[in-house]
Amino acid sequence: MDFKSRLQNLTRKQKAYAGAFAAIVGLLAWAFISAGVITHNFNRSQLQTDQDRQEALINGIILTETKDEKKYWEIYGETGNYDSKNGVAMLNNVVGNFYDDNNEVSMSFESSKGTYNEKKEQIILYDDTFIVLKDLTTLRANRLVWSGKDIPIIAEGNVRITRKSDLLSTAKKVEISPDYEKFKIIGNTVSKVYSDKEIK
């Protein structure tokens, strides 16, 4: 018996079921084909978007990092821009603070330029960078790099350190300990230590 004969021998109810089944199969096929086209177009659109660099110009931006209710740092830029592709914020006329484990300011800074790299979690200050540690030691440098709370801070380029009135040092580079308690002077170092008698 061929297909046509079998179809003629089906009851009205069986024909209705067969029609409904065919309609469902057709609907599912259409859905899968449509989903494939939509997904393809969506992925292509995403790729095109990823290739475009998106930048936002910002006036008065504040960035901060906190974890477990502890603040690690905060940085304010008078103006700047954010590159979404590279995850980098570039700031102008920067001021900010780094904090210790007790949420107290350990180091304050100001600089004419600064960047925050979101992927590397790194802060870099450029040009005319001025730093004050919690013991009132001051430091000037061309560049400062902060790469994490457990990593020494690096300041380099025409470094000049003064501590109250008893220390004056110049060097190429300085490493500041993660707890902001100590620093190591490196390269072409000249240090002058003054006694209380000499200060008077």
Chain segment 125-147, per-residue pLDDT in tens: 988 899 998 888 899 999 999 99
Query: Distance between CA atoms of 142 and 18, rounded to whole angstroms?
Result: 81
Other CB atoms closer than 10 Å to residue 74's CB: what's the count?
A: 16
In the chain, where are the structural domains located? 3-51, 55-199
* pLDDT of amino acid 197: 52
Instruction: Name beta bridge partners: 155.
Output: 144, 174
Most distant pair of Cα atoms in the chain: their distance: 121
Instruction: Name beta bridge partners: 82.
Output: 56, 89
* pLDDT of amino acid 189: 80
Q: In terms of Cα–Cα distance, which of 37, 76, 39, 40 is closest to 59? A: 76
**Which CATH number is 55-199's, of 3.40.605.10, 2.60.450.10, 3.10.180.10, 2.40.50.100?**
2.60.450.10
User: How many residues in total does the chain contain?
Assistant: 200
Query: Distance between CA atoms of 145 and 152, rounded to whole angstroms?
Result: 9
**3 state SS for the chain:** CCHHHHHHHCCHHHHHHHHHHHHHHHHHHHHHHHHHHHHHHHHHHHHHHHHCCCEEEEEEEEEEEEECCEEEEEEEEEEEEEECCCCEEEEEEEEEEEECCCCCEEEEEEEEEEEEECCCCEEEEEEEEEEEECCCEEEEEEEEEECCCCCCEEEEEEEEEEECCCEEEEEEEEEECCCCCCEEEECCCEEEECCHHHHC
* pLDDT of amino acid 102: 84
pTM: 0.66
Ranges of the chain whose pLDDT falls below 50: 25, 27-51, 199-200
